[in-house]
Amino acid sequence: MTITKARSALPIKSGDSGSAPDSGDRSLQTPPSIRMLSDILPDEPLLMMGAGPVPIPAPVAHANSIVINHLGDAMVNVVEQVKAMSSYVFQSSTARILGVAGPGSAAMEMAIANLLEPDDKCLSICNGYFSQRLAQMADRVGAEVVRHIVPECESVNAEVVRELLQKHSPDVLTIVQGETSSTVCNRELPEICEAARAFGCLVIVDAVCTLSTMPLQMEAWGIDAVITGGQKGLSSIPGVSLVAFSERAWTKRRTRKAALSHWCLDAQLADRFWYGKSYHYTAPVSGVLALHEALRLVCQETLPARFHRHRRSSRSLQAGIEACGLQLYVNSEHRLDSVIGISLPEKVDAAELLKLTSTRYRVEISGSFGAPIVRIGQMGEQCRSHNVFRAFHALGSSLSSLGADVDVPEGMSTLERCLAELELSLDLSDEQKQRA
């Protein structure tokens, strides 16, 4: 008997053009020449300090490497816990919580497609790129969309929204809590929700970058749908998201007249898996396990301690940035803490700056969607002192190298002083202090 040596089907080194074993079928294409992943990825991972995705903790990474039966008993237990922990994070004991196999945008689309019928009226509060995306999704389901474009760098005023509600009588209002693109925070969200409720209008809130980084009380504020992604405040992986529907929203979904053109995003079908222990589609089990771990860490930390960690980290970084001579894009009154927008000094090219921070300092920060800014994320694991110091140093030193007039030592000492001062303002356990 002759034994032939097994041959790799894929030529795996660049330059090695190899060919597939001769199957006799001349119409088959040959496999492409592929580099090893290790040749593509950097030797030392970049510190992800942009607008997301953010670094993930070890238990989340570990959970993400496990595959289990999507309909077995273990998964049923995991799903029950994900819903229980999400109820805490959304601050709602009555919300219907559904996971979505998809990015934050898929969760946005699930909320929009299920709660808006063709010819319904939708009032969209637009502070930038992602709030505009909600309006575009509403257009696509055939709703009549009224866009309120908020002036650049400003949050929306509740009184203005009340007037718009009065004037247009919308069925649904869409709004972002934090607009990642413009780094604006809609602080008057509770008042806006209260006004919408008085007009019988459902409220959809995009909390993709803010959930678990700052207060959001779904039930107390009367929000009807909250959307979040995994890869930002929750410090999980991208690609598995959550939507929470209020009882009012769920009634609207159940009693809608128009058939839904979406299948994967049909909330009633998704409910089969999330509440009925049965099949809708094969759930992204590893991503749900990762989300479980991310939520568990939020619950372990508790929301008040987590909000404090985010605020302390972000406010200290903002103070450091200003102390070194740079300007923040949005005034403190309207500013988002979860993503910080930094105005580019004159003559500094954003692309050059980002390249320098990543190649020389191994820190990744984000560019913008048109505004003359770069952005540093302050979500989840990004809000750890060691990460904040490293991000600030990378930004300051890169700008210095590019000829900008920045006082990096002054910024550093301000950052350090603010972190120390803000530490005092909440009773944290020693363990929480150490991790902060």
Ligand X SMILES: Cc1ncc(COP(=O)(O)O)c(C=O)c1O
Provide the minimum distance between the beta carbon of 21 and ligand X in the complex, in angstroms, as a whole number. 41
Please state, in angstroms and as integers, the Cα–Cα distance from residue 154 to each residue in 81, 135, 330, 381, following that order: 38, 18, 8, 27
How far is the C-alpha of 80 from the C-alpha of 230, rounded, in Å?
A: 18
- Is residue 174 within 8 A of residue 363, CB to CB? The reply is no
- Which of 104, 320, 341, 396 lies at the binding interface for ligand X (CB under 6 A)? 104
Span of 25-33, 100-108, 156-164, 248-256 interacting with ligand X by CB under 6 A:
100-108
Query: Any contact of residue 171 with ligand X (CB under 6 A)?
Result: no
Provide the minimum distance between the beta carbon of 256 and ligand X in the complex, in angstroms, as a whole number. 24
Query: Any contact of residue 284 with ligand X (CB under 6 A)?
Result: no
Provide the minimum distance between the beta carbon of 127 and ligand X in the complex, in angstroms, as a whole number. 10
How far is the C-alpha of 205 from the C-alpha of 435, rounded, in Å?
A: 30
Query: Any contact of residue 372 with ligand X (CB under 6 A)?
Result: no
- Strands 96-101, 47-48: pairing is unpaired
- Which of 50, 52, 99, 341 lies at the binding interface for ligand X (CB under 6 A)? 52
Query: Any contact of residue 367 with ligand X (CB under 6 A)?
Result: no
Give the residue with the Cβ less far from ligand X, 227 or 418: 227
- Is residue 274 within 8 A of residue 97, CB to CB? The reply is yes
Please state, in angstroms and as integers, the Cα–Cα distance from residue 4 to each residue in 1, 7, 180, following that order: 10, 9, 58
Which residue's CB atom is positioned nearest to ligand X? 104
Query: Any contact of residue 368 with ligand X (CB under 6 A)?
Result: no
Query: Any contact of residue 364 with ligand X (CB under 6 A)?
Result: no
Query: Any contact of residue 209 with ligand X (CB under 6 A)?
Result: yes
Please state, in angstroms and as integers, the Cα–Cα distance from residue 22 to each residue in 29, 44, 158, 227, 243, following that order: 11, 40, 70, 51, 50
Find all residues with CB under 8 Å of 105, minimum gap 6, and list them.
Answer: 133
Provide the minimum distance between the beta carbon of 229 and ligand X in the complex, in angstroms, as a whole number. 4
- Which of 109, 120, 188, 206 lies at the binding interface for ligand X (CB under 6 A)? 206
| Positions that interact with ligand X (CB under 6 A) | 51-52, 103-105, 130, 176, 180, 206, 208-209, 229, 238
